[in-house]
Amino acid sequence: MLIDQHVAHERILFDKYRKCETERSIESQNLLLPETIDLSPAQSEAFSLIEDDLESLGFGTMRLSGRTIAIKSIPTDLPPSEARNLFSEILDTIEAEKKGGAKSTFRDDIAASLACKAAVKINMKLTPEKMRWMIDRLLITTSPTTCPHGRPVILRLSMKDIERGFHRT
């Protein structure tokens, strides 16, 4: 069996965020310097719709002037370098849903985007302990075989599949 560490961690984080959302607000970290973003008109409208929800997901925001927003705090699992991209992605998702482009709830979309940005990356080296931790956590998630976007987490390869891959059959 092969496990994609990024999508496995993404599934673990997604379940964590959805669980935290129902039990309590996600923990956030203050940014040393707030990120300012000039929103498009559509993003500004989306921001107005979900401003309160963003706070429960760990984002501390403040409307500055016009369509300019300051991000003062972000979820603790999110690398600060990803804050601006994720924030824009969330707002764009809300706009797409208003047009009927997405079928799932926007809270699932936000949690999935947050999990994707915060998950370990594909080529990141993991210690054996971290690998064991990840597999243990993956097995108790709501869907250990797929990430929140529907990609497979685990591939099962038979010996025949491996031999075929090496042109041995």
Confidence check: pLDDT of 137 > 90: yes
Look up residue 82 and give its amino acid.
E
Would you say residue 100 has pLDDT above 70?
Answer: no
CATH 3.30.1370.100 fits 2-139, yes or no: yes
What single-letter DSSP state applies at residue 75?
E
Instruction: Encode pLDDT of 145-161 as tens digits.
Output: 999 888 999 999 999 99
Regarding predicted confidence, which is higher, 102 or 29?
A: 29
Reading the block at residue 80, the tokens are 């600060």
**In sequence order, what are the residues at sequence separation of 6 or more whose Cβ sits closer than 8 angstroms to the Cβ of residue 106?**
50, 53, 93, 94, 97
Q: Quick one: pLDDT band at residue 101, thresholds 50, 70, 90?
A: very low
What's the pLDDT tens digit per position in 14-64?
998 888 766 666 788 999 999 999 999 988 988 888 888 788 778 899 999
The pLDDT assigned to 103 comes to 42
**Residue 138 to residue 160: CA distance in whole angstroms:** 27
Average pLDDT, rounded, for the chain: 86
Residue 96 has pLDDT above 80, yes or no: no
Cα 140 from Cα 100, distance rounded (Å) = 33
